[in-house]
A and B are shown apart, each in its own frame.
Chain A
Amino acid sequence: MKFMKIAAAAATSIALLAGSAQAEDKPVVGLIMKSLANEFFQNMLEGAKEHEKKRGDYELRAVGMQNETDFESQINAVENFITQGVDAIVIAPADSRAMVRPLKRAMEAGIVVINFDVSLDAEAKKQQGVELAFVGPDNRGGAKLAGDALGELLGAGSKVVIIEGNPGADNANERRLGFEASVEDYKLDLVDSRTAHWETEEANTVFSNILTAHPDIQGVMAANDSMAIGVVKALESAGRKDITVVGFDNIPAVGPMIKDGRMLATVDQFGQDMAANSIDLALDVIAGGPQLEGWVKTPIELVTNK
């Protein structure tokens, strides 16, 4: 897949070239996101573009990746931004360890770096001697909100399953840990926990099979809404209305499902605003504001039909 990475890197550099018609004195902010094939980041980019128009006092250069784990392209993008001398880099890292070193170089070059969405690894930061705040939602806390809603409804001893995101992805891990915390708090019975790689069709298949193996389950916690949709469809095909589903992300497609009760709840982490908020923070620092520290939590909210 080297080929695709090179292609992505080439695409990245073209995007950067196109954006280099420098506006006079406006500060330049480089926004590096993960896969734009993911609705979540796509929405985030839209939000950031609107934000640039609304504020009008900075120039945005945005870069997206080929897929969720393509950190090589992200490293290239950081290096390109350093070369161009941007004022700030706002980044959603594709790998919480691999991105530490290139970002350190950016900071050494005097660029304000804001890390959002997924936190860089604390251990790696310590090793490299990097102090960098994290701006982002509490994935674990969000998942726990959804899990708690399920636990509240079903009560102790109920049988539940978790449909996980990509194994190894930080947000997938955090969400799973949040669900597991709910399982513990509400004394639920976790009968199975499997990945469906964030994907609807796979979630549909995997969950159908879990349902066959454990027909007595009462609740499902899906680590994103795409997978929750697959679960809901599997329940419909099996004619089961007695199983409660919660998801995460609040994508538009689950709106009707929450409304008519096919899903109990999802979690909105206001992804559309996240990049924009991070850019605001970066511009504050550029303007002479204090350096950020620790974890700047962005809002999350449980969405139900109430």
Chain B
Amino acid sequence: MARQTDVLSESRSNEFSLRALINKAGIGLALLALIIFFSVFTEHFLNANNITNILTQITINLILAVGMTFVILIGGIDLSVGSVMAFAAVVAGKAITLPGFGTTEVILLACLAAITAGFVCGLLNGVISSYWALPSFIITLGMLNIARGAALQVSEAQTIYSFPFAFEEFGSAMIYGIPVVFLVALVLVLLAWFILNRTVFGRLLYGIGNNEEAVRLAGHPVFWYKVAAFTICGLTAGIAAIVYMARLNISSPIAGIGFELNAIAAVIIGGTSLSGGRGSVIGTLIGAFIIGVLANGLILIGLSDFMRQMITGVVIIIAVVLDHYRAKFAAK
């Protein structure tokens, strides 16, 4: 019946809770099991290059999933992140290929353009769905189409290419074998953790996800908090667009199709409840790792594309079913 917010209470009161530990470790243990499995059954899995690969490969999904965590925590959903990422990428692609500017200027301009595009789309999602109290599922489905159409319109359906070398360098830079873009994602995770667990804003997002009316009656501007959650999600889509461009050196208007589903999967596998109010961004980090490790490991093991797709689906379902039992267990 009653769900626990152990993650919350544990981190907030600094009181030790064994149950919380088991709860949180649960999903981590699953990741550990996957890692051990692939290490044993494939030759190259633990190879330094492969680990670098995995980190690179989960980066975009992780960044999108961080934003998605905010939206799902308040009981919403954002289906538009993949399209918004593509839109932000082509807007930034147009900016970065503008003639007559210095390298630094165009790169800054492109980053600003991507973040602004993401911000605007997220703001619209939030304002429209919160003002009229409409299901975010439908509003963001609309935005999915709007942003994709806008991306195609702006780019005239052409891949934008030839970016400055410095930008390319950022996309492939490493620190001790760790891709810089992944570190960017990690900083976002830590920032999100701090916001969700240490600020009044974060606390009230959990509150809204659990009982919006109680938060409203306690005198808080629920509308703006919800708008902020969607805006953060849009912002992360803009940041993901920058990473996408830096990594591949192109902006494609058809980038990111289906990315929203991977981001949602990472959040849910990470133990955040689809109905809101319960979960953590650390779980999301682990969820993104599980998806990335699975995609990587199953190719290394030589499984066919179709089997790979099936197994990924099975893992998502198992994760959600396990989470159901975990919540039940925790309630006892």
Interface residues in chain A, defined as those with a beta carbon under 8 Å from any beta carbon in chain B? 3-4, 7, 36-39, 42, 167, 192, 194-195, 198-201, 204-206, 208-210, 212-213, 215, 226, 229-230, 233, 236-238, 251-253, 256
Q: Given A38-B157, A167-B305, A251-B159, are A194 and B255 neighbors across the interface (CB < 8 Å)? A: no
Interface residues of B in 135-176 (CB under 8 A from A): 141, 145, 148, 152, 156-162, 172
Contact B159 A201 (CB under 8 A): no
Select the residue from B157, B158, B257, B302 with max chain A CB neighbours within 10 A: B157
Q: A167-B305, A205-B295 are in contact. Are A256 and B152 (CB under 8 A)?
A: no
Q: Known contacts A4-B145, A213-B300; decide if A200 and B250 are in contact (CB<8 Å).
A: yes
Are A233's CB and B300's CB within 8 A? no
Q: Could you list which residues of chain B lie within 8 angstroms of chain A, going by C-beta atoms? A: 42-44, 47, 49-50, 53, 56-57, 60, 141, 145, 148, 152, 156-162, 172, 244, 247-250, 252-257, 295-296, 299-300, 302, 305-306
In contact, A238 and B152 (Cβ under 8 angstroms): no
User: Which of B247, B257, B295 lies in contact with A209, CB distance below 8 A?
Assistant: B295
Are A209 and B157 in contact, with the CB atoms below 8 A?
A: no
B302 engages A213 (CB within 8 Å)? yes
CA separation between A42 and B154, bound complex, in Å?
Answer: 13
Q: Are B254 and A38 in contact (CB under 8 A)?
A: yes
Contact of B161 (CB < 8 Å), options: A205, A206, A253: A253
Please state if A36 and B300 are interface contacts (CB–CB under 8 Å). Answer: no
**B248 lies within 8 A of A213 (CB):** no
**Chain A contacts for B141, CB-based, 8 A:** 3
Residue of A nearest to B254 (CB): A37
Are B248 and A233 interface neighbours, CB within 8 A? yes
Contacts A7-B145, A39-B158; is A209 near B248 (CB within 8 Å)? no
Q: How far is the CA of A200 from the CA of B157 in the complex (A)?
A: 14
Residues of A within 8 A of B145 (CB): 4, 7
**How far, in angstroms, from A253 to B60 measured CA to CA in the complex?**
22
A206 contacts B299, CB within 8 Å? yes
Instruction: Determine whether the beta carbon of B247 is less than 8 Å from that of A233.
Output: yes
Complex Cα spacing A209 to B301, Å: 10
Q: Nearest chain A CB to B208's CB is how many angstroms away?
A: 28
Q: A38-B157, A39-B159, A167-B305 are in contact. Are A213 and B299 (CB under 8 A)?
A: yes
In contact, B255 and A199 (Cβ under 8 angstroms): yes
A37-B157, A200-B255, A252-B158 known; A210+B299 contact, CB < 8 A? yes
Q: How far is the CB of A243 from chain B (nearest CB, A)?
A: 14
Besides A209-B299, A212-B300, A252-B161, 15 new A-B residue pairs in contact (Cβ under 8 A), listed by A number = A36-B152, A38-B157, A39-B157, A39-B159, A199-B257, A201-B244, A205-B295, A208-B57, A212-B47, A213-B42, A213-B43, A213-B302, A226-B254, A229-B249, A237-B172
